[in-house]
Amino acid sequence: MTGWFVKSVFLTLMIALIAGISPASARSKILVMGDSISAAYGIQRDAGWVALLDARLSETASPWQVVNASISGETTGGGLARLPKALEAHDPEIVIIELGGNDGLRGYPVSRIRENLDKLVALAVAGGRRVLLLGMRIPPNYGPRYTSAFEAMYRDVAKAHDVRFVPFILEAVALNPGLMQDDGIHPTAEAQPKLLDSVWPELQRVLDG
């Protein structure tokens, strides 16, 4: 009788421990592969829109965990070089790609940027992963033909791979000096909730499958 009781208590404790550990370890991952816009350049990292996304998901007891693999100054070429290892290390179910802005600011050929974006999305969707592509716009320094082609390539890549996309992540803040840092390129900490709000509707559709 005593032996049975001890075994019963032990089994109950093991079940409780497993129940407590499993949800956290089984959380599905969202990988964000971006540049300074997603790396919270010039502000505290935990104030950036990616950290706010993770907090919003946590507040709703969501099974999703956000992994931020964004690096300031990153290009599509750099992201393409890093993505395979990031996918292997984190095995995400969803990949958010926010790249291309630095390529455009440097005047790289749009055809080259689009080719890299195409490869990034193709690599991310392999294995059934879901992808959200975040678009960017650039100042008209290189003329209307370049800026128009640059803006259109996000839509074209998203359409080619049948993935969701946000046309311009900075839509709600780019023309508001009070929400941009002194360089006129990077949003302030106060702007980060608006960036998240720009991403959220499309991301919800991705989360819903």
Of 25, 162, 182, 183, the active-site residue reads 183
Mind spelling out the 3-state secondary structure of the chain?
CHHHHHHHHHHHHHHHHHHHHHHHHCCEEEEEEECCCCCCCCCCHHHCHHHHHHHHHHHCCCCEEEEECCCCCCCHHHHHHHHHHHHHHHCCCEEEEECCHHHHHCCCCHHHHHHHHHHHHHHHHCCCCEEEEECCCCCHHHCHHHHHHHHHHHHHHHHHHCCEEECCCCCCCCCCHHHECCCCCCECHHHHHHHHHHHHHHHHHHHCC
- Joined together, the tokens standing for residue 106 give 């440097």
Q: Is 156 a catalytic residue?
A: no
Residue 162: active-site member: no
Choice among 35, 103, 186, 198 that is catalytic: 186
Active site residue: 36, 38, 70, 198, which one? 36
The Cβ-side half-sphere exposure at 129, using a 13 Å CA radius, reads: 26
**Position 194, amino acid:** K
Active site residue 183: yes
- Indicate which residues carry an active-site annotation: 36, 183, 186
